[in-house]
Amino acid sequence: MTRPGSKRPSSSRAAPRATRSRAARKEAAQRLAEAAALPDSLTEPADGDAPAGLPTREAIVAFINSAPGKVAKRDIVRAFGISGDQRIWLKRLLKELEEDGLINRRHGALHDAAGLPPVVLADITGRDDDGELIARPAEWNSDDEPPQIIINLPRRPAKGHQPTPGVGDRALLRVSRLPEPDGGPAYTGRPIKIIGRANPQTLGVFRALPEGGGWIEPVDKKSLGREPLEIRPGDAGEAKDGDLVSVSVSKIGRFARPHARVRERLGSLSSEKAVSLLAIYAHGIPHVFSAAALAEAEAARPLGMSGREDWRELPLITIDPADAKDHDDAVHAAVDEDPNNPGGFVLSVAIADVAAYVRPGGELDRTARERGNSVYFPDRVVPMLPERISNDLCSLRPHEDRPSLAMRIVIDAHGRKLRHSVHRVMMRSAAKLAYQQAQAAIDGLPDDITGPLLEPVLKPLWAAYAALAEARDKRSPLALDLPERKLLLDADGMLDRVIIPPRLDAHRLIEEFMILANVCAAETLERAGSPLLYRIHDEPSLEKMRGLGEVMASIGIKLPKTGNVRPELFNRILAQVEGTRHKTFINEVVLRSQAQAEYSADNCGHFGLNLRRYAHFTSPIRRYADLIVHRALITVGKLGHDGLPAATTRSQLNEIAAQISVAERRAMAAERETIDRLIAHHLADAIGATFQGQISGVTRAGLFVRLADTGADGFVPAATIGDEFYRHDESLHALVGSRTGDTLRLGDQVEVRLAEAAPIAGALRFELMGRAGGGRSRLAGRKIGAKKDGRGKSGGKAPKGLKGRLAEQKKAKQARLDCSLPERSR
């Protein structure tokens, strides 16, 4: 595969390339089919008593590589005529290929290990010698060069088509592998949707100079240490000192210093909510509603009873965070009076009927799909839908009629679901409670609101939750224990303090009710044969399991070898470290070993929740996936004419799934960066202070340390540690002293001194003082750039200040970011 800028022969690959690709794939498939009929050329003796006629490893890999889409095991069985006992050997062979890294198993299907999924988010980076557009995947986790994708544009765009993509655009592509890339692109890609610009703008904070012009302070950690961008006099536009600006960068001459011109003044850092503004622009998060979307929202009116059941006398209640502004779910439980279900309960979960106001194809629908989800910053919320919808018409306010889509669920005394049904209703919430308020009532401290609700409403809810908890424990989902920190801001929108709110049974109750309702939604649509947007969470990859095994071995715990990885395995690991100094970091490591939860029209189950099928149904105000599920339920239940259009295909749902999964990751990154900036600003006045922390990451360039009190992550350059060289031992996840063998290992408790803080970029640099509780040691004392002991080799070029230190940490940081908790339905 050629790298960017390299030459490749200009040949027959021009307009006919896509046709040639299809013909070649057809020919390759024909060759494989013919080869399948020739056992002698395709089979080899397997270990032991392998059945005759089993295809070779090479033949199976070739078959998977040549397939234009995903391949299931049954496709291989069909292609090679495998039957009987041969299926057992095929299963073993596929497992060996996966262990050897030759194939991957994603969403229950087999793929080339180095290949791309059928739908890819890609950045269009340039053109080839024939003038055709070339793209590369926007996300690529391998150390190898990302594959090239040649864009296959339609010759005759359909009526109402999107604009043609160009260099610099980011787009969703449906990709197909080229069977014989000949050193050129390995894939062709058909554009599905243009998402935006790959790098929409270069952002920074303008710092003015007295003589005119100025320079740009970077807002991106990856830009720290690069040569500063100069703003020449006359190129600053209307920007003032401290303004967040978008700039265009230019560089005249090979050795000239880069300079920039201000394109747009985006806001002032002195303004309210400026910290989240940085992340909004840096990640291209849509945050201003179009006039058409606002007009459509304002035109909406409260709905009547037509086509709805009357549930207004049912005392449903909402239980949410105390500062929640919208309320999209309400719950109720009652003892089941059916004598055939002793000790059982009837649960009701009512969800705001957003589909009644946001119709398919409208401006609100387009806006919601583009945003994908609401984004929650410490200082603001960027909602998926305008406030007229999210905080008014669809918010389940107490004592007000609200249209809802509801689940009625019957469970037995042990929390097992017996049956469920879907209803379109009009409800009226009996009360709006905070988690702490509901919990206090159950604990014997009711207030004026919860007192009258305690016996008829709250106690039945808690009794039903006890049954659901029993079923959950039997199901054994992944039980990570990672306290969630909450940032409390002062009147100026800056960090006041960080707290860890207690985890209450009230939280768990709502979570279990929501998970059960989500399962019911998935089951309903599956049984009806409807296209379905699943929430999937694949099992950990073999590579990540190997990495986890190495970490466990480093603390003396052996990871059992098993071909059937289940959540119970991880729960046993977590139980082994409960109460030890390794508890927190092993929970972190187990979290990092997990796959990324995402949306898909193809089901592979939800590993973290240990569920065969799962869909998001309970938060349509803030997640577009839930709105799609609501529409599908309306259609299959014949509950109205505003459901999922009949022509919707699984392929279309996969396109939506890819887009909103990207939006979810974008939101996670933006939220994390905003927290980093707030904490860095908070600590900027504490330069020289010492903190207790834990090593949360190890790279060749140094250590990541997470502070115990704030959860802030900072970096300790290897060049500043002790009076000897430290080499990176990947198998131990440690830095090891070349002279003394002193080992700094992932999870070690340490004491650090804050050396530098960059609030705009959200970066912290620490100096290692010693082991936690051990005072100063020989680990401390060397400054960046100080002369080292001449033995051994440096662990990397010594950074200066915060400069030049982030290339090594990017991969480790991204790994932490990409692994969300397996599921928090709230």
**Six-digit token string for 26:** 């057809």
Across 163-172, 318-327, 481-490, 655-664, least confident range: 163-172
Would you say residue 780 has pLDDT above 60?
no
Task: Give yes or no: residues 233 and 316 share one domain.
Answer: no
- CA atoms of 670 and 687, how far apart (whole Å): 26
Quote the pLDDT of residue 599: 96
* Residue 813 pLDDT class (50, 70, 90 cuts): very low
**Six-digit token string for 454:** 């305690």
Quote the pLDDT of residue 779: 60
Q: Residues 269, 272, 275, 279: what is their CA dihedral angle, to the nearest 10 degrees?
A: -100
Crossing angle of the two packed helices 57-66 and 17-36, in degrees rounded to 10: 150
Task: Give yes or no: residues 492 and 556 share one domain.
Answer: no
Task: Give yes or no: residues 303 and 407 share one domain.
Answer: yes
CB 600 within 8 A of CB 522: no
**Number of alpha carbons in the 13 Å side-chain half-sphere of residue 84:** 6
Would you say residue 733 has pLDDT above 90?
no
- CA atoms of 749 and 773, how far apart (whole Å): 9
Q: Amino acid letter at 783?
A: K
CATH for 217 = 2.40.50
Mean pLDDT of 365-374: 96
Task: Give yes or no: residues 692 and 641 share one domain.
Answer: no
Mean pLDDT of 425-431: 98
Task: Give yes or no: residues 508 and 408 share one domain.
Answer: yes
* Residue 55 pLDDT class (50, 70, 90 cuts): confident
Quote the pLDDT of residue 597: 94
**Six-digit token string for 345:** 């309960």
Beta bridge partners of residue 426, listed in sequence order = 310, 403
Q: What angle is formed at CA 253 by the lines to CA 251 and CA 257, rounded to 5 degrees?
A: 50
**Would you say residue 192 lies in a domain?**
no
Name the E strands within 591-742.
Answer: 598-600, 690-699, 702-707, 713-717, 726-729, 734-737
By the 10 Å C-beta count (0-12 exposed, 13-18 middle, 19+ buried), 276 is classed as: buried
Q: Give tens-digit pLDDT for 267-300.
A: 777 766 888 988 998 888 999 999 999 999 999 9
Residue 231 belongs to domain spanning: 202-271
The secondary element (H helix, E strand) that includes residue 448 is none
CB 704 within 8 A of CB 759: no
Mean pLDDT of 407-420: 98
Across 214-223, 516-525, 581-590, least confident range: 214-223
Which of 271, 305, 322 is the C-terminal boundary of a domain? 271
Quote the pLDDT of residue 778: 53
- CA atoms of 248 and 701, how far apart (whole Å): 32
Q: Give tens-digit pLDDT for 317-369.
A: 999 999 888 899 999 999 999 999 999 999 999 999 999 999 999 999 999 99
Would you say residue 136 has pLDDT above 70?
yes
Closest CA to 820 of 536, 421, 471, 488: 536
Quote the pLDDT of residue 201: 58
Quote the pLDDT of residue 648: 93
- CA atoms of 393 and 300, how far apart (whole Å): 8
Would you say residue 630 has pLDDT above 80?
yes
**Six-digit token string for 679:** 């904490």
CB 621 within 8 A of CB 384: yes
Task: Give yes or no: residues 313 and 446 share one domain.
Answer: yes
CB 754 within 8 A of CB 680: no
Task: Give yes or no: residues 302 and 413 share one domain.
Answer: yes
Question: Which residue in this structure is represented by tokens 């990495």?
Answer: 547
- CA atoms of 578 and 574, how far apart (whole Å): 6
Across 244-258, 509-523, 762-776, least confident range: 244-258
Which of 112, 144, 169 is the C-terminal boundary of a domain? 112
Quote the pLDDT of residue 226: 62
**Would you say residue 514 lies in a domain?**
yes
Q: What percent of the residues of the chain are helix, what percent strand, and what percent coil, each to the nearest 5?
A: 30, 25, 45
Quote the pLDDT of residue 550: 83
Would you say residue 386 has pLDDT above 60?
yes
CB 502 within 8 A of CB 435: no
By the 10 Å C-beta count (0-12 exposed, 13-18 middle, 19+ buried), 424 is classed as: buried
**Would you say residue 552 lies in a domain?**
yes
Which string of b and e fits 15-54 if b means at least 16 CB within 10 Å?
eebbebbeeebeebbeebeebbeeeeebbeebeeebbebb
Task: Give yes or no: residues 711 and 804 share one domain.
Answer: yes
Name the E strands within 179-257.
Answer: 187-197, 202-208, 214-218, 229-231, 243-250
DSSP letters spanning 4-23: TT------S-STTHHHHHHH
Mean pLDDT of 535-547: 89
**Would you say residue 476 lies in a domain?**
yes
Quote the pLDDT of residue 52: 59
pTM of the model: 0.74
3-state secondary structure 384-434: CCCHHHHHHHCCCCECCEEEEEEEEEEECCCCCEEEEEEEEEEEEECEEEE
- The DSSP secondary-structure symbol of 149 reads E
Quote the pLDDT of residue 25: 41
Would you say residue 792 has pLDDT above 50?
no
Kindly report the backbone phi and psi dihedral angles of residue 782, in degrees, each rounded to the nearest multiple of 5, phi listed first.
-90, 130
**Would you say residue 161 lies in a domain?**
no
Would you say residue 541 has pLDDT above 70?
yes
Closest CA to 122 of 150, 157, 95: 150
Mean pLDDT of 228-235: 86
Report the residue count for the chain. 826
Q: What percent of the chain has pLDDT over 90?
A: 47
CB 148 within 8 A of CB 27: no
Name the CA radius of gyration of the chain, rounded: 29
Q: If you count DSSP H runs as helices and E runs as strands, how many of each does the chain have, helices first?
A: 18, 33
Distance between start and end Cα atoms, the chain:
44
* Residue 412 pLDDT class (50, 70, 90 cuts): very high
- CA atoms of 746 and 422, how far apart (whole Å): 49
Handedness of CA 222, 225, 227, 229 (dihedral sign): positive
Own/partner contacts of 128-133, CB < 8 Å, gap of 24 or more, are: 128/8, 128/13, 128/184, 128/185, 129/7, 129/8, 129/10, 130/10, 130/13, 130/14, 132/13, 132/14, 132/17, 133/165, 133/166, 133/167
CB 579 within 8 A of CB 448: no
By the 10 Å C-beta count (0-12 exposed, 13-18 middle, 19+ buried), 213 is classed as: middle
Task: Give yes or no: residues 508 and 641 share one domain.
Answer: yes
Greater confidence (497 vs 228) lies with 497
Q: Amino acid letter at 748?
A: D
Average pLDDT, the chain: 81
- CA atoms of 623 and 257, how far apart (whole Å): 45
Would you say residue 173 has pLDDT above 80?
yes
**Would you say residue 105 lies in a domain?**
yes
CB 454 within 8 A of CB 441: yes
Mean pLDDT of 78-90: 78
- The DSSP secondary-structure symbol of 711 reads -
3-class SS of residue 172:
strand
Question: Which residue in this structure is represented by tokens 């379905």?
Answer: 532
- CA atoms of 13 and 679, how far apart (whole Å): 53
Closest CA to 295 of 407, 173, 204, 388: 388
Task: Give yes or no: residues 743 and 814 share one domain.
Answer: yes
Q: Give tens-digit pLDDT for 649-705.
A: 998 999 999 999 989 999 999 999 999 999 999 999 999 999 999 998 898 889 999
Task: Give yes or no: residues 550 and 623 share one domain.
Answer: no
Domain count, the chain: 5
Quote the pLDDT of residue 85: 74
- CA atoms of 64 and 560, how far apart (whole Å): 30
**Would you say residue 279 lies in a domain?**
no
Which of 638, 670, 702 is the C-terminal boundary of a domain? 670
Across 141-145, 216-220, 349-353, least confident range: 141-145
**Would you say residue 645 lies in a domain?**
yes
Across 30-39, 47-56, 153-162, 570-579, least confident range: 30-39
- CA atoms of 229 and 210, how far apart (whole Å): 17
Closest CA to 818 of 694, 679, 661, 713: 661
Q: What percent of the chain has pLDDT over 70?
A: 78
Name the E strands within 412-503.
Answer: 417-428, 431-434, 486-489, 495-499
Task: Give yes or no: residues 230 and 300 share one domain.
Answer: no
- CA atoms of 144 and 656, how far apart (whole Å): 29
Quote the pLDDT of residue 821: 37
**Six-digit token string for 752:** 């650090």
Quote the pLDDT of residue 645: 93
Greater confidence (501 vs 37) lies with 501
**Number of alpha carbons in the 13 Å side-chain half-sphere of residue 641:** 1
Question: Residue 271 CB: number of other CB atoms within 10 A?
Answer: 12
Q: What angle is formed at CA 226 by the lines to CA 126 and CA 208, rounded to 5 degrees?
A: 110
